A and B are shown apart, each in its own frame.
Chain A
Amino acid sequence: MSSPTPSITSLTQFVVEHAAGEHVVAAAFLKQTPTLALADGSVLLIVGEGAARKVEAHPDAGILTAASDGAALVTGGDDGRVVRTTADGATEEVGNSKGRWIDALAVSPSGALAWAAGKIVTARDDKGRLRTWQAPSTPQGLCFAPKGYRVAVSHYNGVSLWFPNTEAEPEKLEWKGSHLDVTWSADGRFVVTSMQENSLHGWRLPEKADMRMTGYPSKTRSFSWSHDGNWLATSGADAAIVWPFSSKEGPMGKPPRECGIRPAKVSRVAFHPGALVLAVGYEDGFILLVRLNDGAELLVRKADPERGAVTALAWDKRGKHLVFGTEGGAAGVLTLPA
């Protein structure tokens, strides 16, 4: 065992910074290309060290939300457009809710996508067929079921589980209050939302048993499931709060893990795709990797309050690279040493 050192091991020398210059809304890897969705309506493809290609996905408009299936980055803008950008820089308009903001967006691994504009949720299957449903109030979050063509829509007073290809009324998961983002566990047994009142709410399916996860000092706006589906990492506290979902009951009655406790709030979390290692981004720009088993920490980026909170974090498929972006337009890519 090495002697204790006051500072944690640093990976900062393996990070290549790229100035995005704009608020980074989301990040993803399109195959091997680190890609950023920027608030000024553009998509930035990082094609090499210090080299980037800017694609005007939403000319004269802004990007509000984005999601990726690994092949393309799908962005929703304040121009009402939904645009698919691929690693070669090609863009395709895949949806248009004229005059409305795209408030939420989700993609499924099979290539389907769904977006919300005002109260209308539109689902587009892999063949491009559109279906719409009007939610009882403006949806704030969308996600696809892990299997099958089904969308979870979070809104005021609960979540609706919608099968776009049926006429049936969506199944309701009710809980009073304003639900923000929504996520569905990989085994399909849990649906979890973040709420206006700085808490999470979950439902265990099919019983619809309620789960409340409270104690956050601010809203949770970032979720990430571990690759094995046993853990859900969340932002919104002075550490990443990681809830155990391995048992049948989910996290009920079990304390969460707190990873990377710092005097700054966690703004983004992203689990490694193949190991129990969590990337944690903070509101002061600091980024850590934390190993869940022993809490060991690796520094990715020092605090940089000037360039704001970490707003985007994403791993590549193999878990070799991590791309990040901040509110103030900083961005970079970590390549893990071999």
Chain B
Amino acid sequence: MNRTKIALSLTAALALIPMTSSAGTLENVVKKGELNCGVSTGIPGFSATNSKGVWEGIDVDFCKAIASAVLGNADKVKYIPLTAKERFTALQSGEIDVLVRSSTWTSSRDTSLGLNFAGVNYYDGQGFLINKKLGISSAKELDGATFCIQAGTTTELNLTDYFKSQKMEYKAVTYDTSGQTIDGFKKGRCDAVTSDASQLYGLRLKMDDPNSVMVLPEIISKEPLGPVVRQGDDDWFNVVRWSLFAVLEAEELGITMANVDAQMKSDNPSVKRLLGTSGDAGASLGLDAKWAYNMIKQVGNYGEMFDRNVGKDSPLNIDRGLNKLWNQGGLMYPMPIR
């Protein structure tokens, strides 16, 4: 009886093992007809599920954009939720094709893990959430404020460095977990909390009265978040990098989900090269000539992704700040497609 049971479970086990070959990632994705995209286990606005259990967020939208560029269909994505600890292994082992999981681009990750960052899809950084009762509008006025801090984190170190460099002082109320830290702020034990700006907007919504607190404009650390691919697969690296540039370029050129069909008839040479009506940008990436058209038509340009998931059309209502285009005072600078 045991033997039969073991045989049965082995058969079931084999049925669950998909085979992957060792060809280039681009070929693999085309062959599978599906993009395996590594996302988070829940970061508001970046990758999270809605009430229908469907993945949404700016990172998720970028997965969709790659899928529509490569496969022509934004729905051909398999989302693999990963914790912070397993995300890079999952990429190294080939379980996922691309990791879009709010991962900070640092030298150690880029060099020692056998991975490459293909660009930056969100410029994050440590900011301050303060109680409006303080009556200030800039971090430079925070001298003497009380902070709720989670002990032993890099955010704590950044805060100390910032206050030292500004010759200011703060009082600290330390907690062990991030939950307790937020709770402390909620209960009014401190005037301010500090964390990555993208998270502060989510925290703000968790307050009993979100309008009693505000996020200060200053950012005191660099956290460039971007998509990651395996090192040594340059074709795939190019696809991911230029997909990102293309959605940015689309915003710069004013091409949106709604007007992309009309723009196909445009005379603007930049628009023509992006949408594939002239030039061979798509073919040299190994993609269809309409790769960028598919992305914009199905997912939208970068600005639309931002507004829908984290920006002004979402409950988070994050200020675009550094994520504005370069010609509007931000850091988003797509390389020219020509």
Our verdict on whether A and B bind, yes or no, reads no
Interface residues of A (CB under 8 A from B): none
